[in-house]
Structure 1
Amino acid sequence: MYSAYIFDFDYTLVNSEEGIAMCFDMLFADEGYAPVPRPEIYATIGMPMYEAMAKLTGEKNSERILELIHLYKIRYSDFYMVSNTHLYEDAKSTLQFLTEKGASCYIVSSKTRSRIQETIVKENLTAFIHGIIGVEDVQTPKPSPEGIKLLCRRYNIVPNACLYIGDSTIDAQTAVNSGIDFAAVTTGVTPATAFANFPHIKIMQHLQELTTLL
């Protein structure tokens, strides 16, 4: 058993696709962009926001991309994201199980820490999440190892004692870059086959499979 379990957020602990897609839909309509099919939006979940916005809009101008990100937050995400973000059915029980076994659970995500914290409070997970590193805490987002390394320093975590759990190849590469073990979960849009070429200790269909690693 590991002493620390570090989770990605979107598509790993929660399904936020409805909230994310809704906010993008409204932004694109209000700012004069063509509608984007939902699967294309879902495929950007987990990317750094700058990269996702550039990909979905086709914008090349960095100032405009940053403006769109700001509008996305203040017009839409601040109002609609948390209410349209839903915890996976086995997430809370898995976190509780790991905590009761003496492990600590953390989140490292390309989402903002403040938005993650809102969901943690809404879903009554405060007792099971011991620390969060969001995109505002780092200079370079995943797959940079900066977030995980910051978490390890802040909470005195030994890298070989922790496991990173995520749903995307970005998460898998983050674990490689950070020098820590990785377990994939296929609750997002990335198929199990995509993880074959990345080091991993397990490819799971559901988070509760973590309890079998003890």
Structure 2
Amino acid sequence: MKYNTIIFDFDYTLADATYGIVSSFNHAFSRLEIPGCDCERIKRTVGLSLDEAFVQLTGDEDKATINSFRSFFREKADEVMSKNTVLFEDTVSTLQKLKNDGINTGIVTTKYHYRIDETLNIHGISDLVDVIVGGEDVRVPKPSPEGLLLAIASLSTDLDEVLYIGDSLVDAKTAMAANVDFAAVTTGTTDREEFSQYPYVKILKNLSELFNQ
């Protein structure tokens, strides 16, 4: 492998948190007396910041309402998110193989850093990830390259030795903005044709295909 560092998005790249995400959105909508959204519409917003997802789903850009939404979302997510997050079946083996091969690993996500810590601890794999950059660690969310560049800097590696793997066009745009190679994985809601609009080195059906020549 030409890379010494592989950095991943989290939701729908390493894990499926659909239950927690949908529950938290609809809990917040209920608290705000806003009609709920169906699962598929909500899933299409994963990868966006909570603020952007709220605007996309409701069309409401009122700052006070968005702040309330974020608070209500977190209220429910603290209860249900991590314990209902399911790792994909090849997530642990992929991270373990990378670790055994001496490759740096990281996670860059719009999800809260502490939530990722919590989930990795539940699954006993915190030692397989070298750096985490969450939504609260940056000033501007993806597709800004800020989080990805922060992770890369913390690992003291060069841009041309980094591969970023993600499941959404937000991830593709993030890699492009950071000037690092991108591999798409189609375990989320974005298909091969959509990814083909952006630079990529691989489009994977699952993480295990990362090791195919």
Aligned equivalent of 2:153: 153
Question: TM-score, normalised on structure 2?
Answer: 0.96
User: Residue 4 of structure 1: CA displacement?
Assistant: 0.4
Cα distance in 1 for residues equivalent to 2:177 and 2:112: 21
- Give CA-to-partner distance per residue, 1:23-43, whole Å, 9 cap, x none: 112222232111211111111
1:195 maps to a residue whose letter is: F
User: Residue 72 of structure 1: CA displacement?
Assistant: 1.1
Q: Which runs of 4+ in 1 moved over 6 A?
A: none
Measured on the aligned residues, the alpha-carbon RMSD in Å equals 1.0
Cα distance in 1 for residues equivalent to 2:157 and 2:64: 38
| Mapping 1:148-187, distance limit 5 Å | 148-187=148-187
| Mapping 1:16-165, distance limit 5 Å | 16-73=17-74, 75-165=75-165
1:10 maps to a residue whose letter is: D
For these two proteins, the number of residue pairs brought into alignment is 212
Checking the alignment, whether the CA contact within 8 Å between 2:27 and 2:72 is kept in structure 1 is no
- Give CA-to-partner distance per residue, 1:117-167, whole Å, 9 cap, x none: 111111111121001001111111111010111112222121111100000
Aligned equivalent of 1:13: 14
Question: TM-score, normalised on structure 1?
Answer: 0.96
**Structure 2 unaligned spans of 5+:** none
2:196 maps to a residue whose letter is: A
**Structure 1 unaligned spans of 5+:** none
Is the partner of 1:107 in helix, strand or coil? Answer: strand
